Amino acid sequence: MAQSFQCVGLIGKYADPSVGDTLQKLSAFLASRNVEVLLDESTARVLPDHGLAVASREQIGERCDLAIAVGGDGTLLAAGRSLARYDVPLLGINLGRLGFLTDISPQEFEQKLDEILAGNYMVEERFLLHCSIIRDGEHISESEALNDVVVHKWEVARMIEIETWVNGQFVQILRSDGLIVSTPTGSTAYALSGGGPIMHANLDAIVLVPICPHTMSNRPIVVRGDSLIEVLVREDTHSHAQITCDGQINLGLVSGDQIRIRKADHRVRLIHPAGHDHFNLLRAKLHWG
């Protein structure tokens, strides 16, 4: 039996008041269907006179049985990282340009939401990556990513040098602009721009994609989804490398730092309209014809 959605959290694109019109129409529509609505507090700060109950991201996770991200894929990525531990399913309304994850347009949301509220929808699970930085034997920082974890140079016109290991086995010393460690979800993002393969969203796999490698024989490598990936920064100076998660979270690195990347303990559940077709999405977004 399909899940019944009685309380819905609305999350708008960060610091962007232009989502206000869509959010107001969306909240009015949900209220007309007797659905309780909570507005994310960071969204509420840029929308004066919204007239909605405001909740923290944690409260949305604890109280809501559906969250709707209004914006682009970046909005849904941020929502997914923060809500995955609460097992709250996510739906995306696309105000952005590409929209691999947010697949409902503002013009069709009423029809699609009516179908979803009636139980006519698809659920898709996506795994996240968890990364941690170990310095001098101590964990100093950690984060999660739905798309990718990227080890890269930091605004310096030179390469960085890193060692990569998979499940304790040495892979290579890589001299490049960086390394993308991507989930199947992220395979159509930065990893694709770097020459990586498109992986089906349901694959249990991780791809390692070098960024502008010095040696052209350094090619993308696909490994099992339960692999432990370790990256050692060999750069001599302390300010040339950093980690970026989903293009949104930055963690600084110094030489000698070890990065451990593996599948996170929880997953993101995405809600799609009935009839969602991954290959049709690829054809549309990548203009395959």
Residue position matching structure tokens 């989930």: 183
- What is Dmax (Cα atoms) for the chain? 61
Q: 258-273 and 66-71 as β-strands: parallel, antiparallel, unpaired?
A: unpaired
Provide the annotated active-site residues: 73
Closest of 154, 153, 189 to residue 77, by C-alpha: 189
Q: Is 266 helix (H, G, I), strand (E, B) or coil?
A: strand
Q: What gap in Å lies between CA 268 and CA 139, rounded to an integer?
A: 25
Q: In which region does residue 170 sit, left (phi positive, over 0), alpha (psi from -120 to 50) or beta (all else)? A: beta
In the sheet that holds 241-245, the strands lie side by side as 221-224, 205-211, 178-182, 148-153, 241-245, 249-252
Q: Please, which residues have CB within 8 angstroms of residue 95's CB and are 6 or more apart in sequence?
A: 13, 18, 19, 22, 70, 71, 72, 102, 106
Return the half-sphere exposure (C-beta side, CA atoms, 13 A cut-off) of residue 112.
Answer: 21
Closest of 166, 172, 179 to residue 213, by C-alpha: 179
Return phi, psi of residue 157, to 5°.
-85, 60
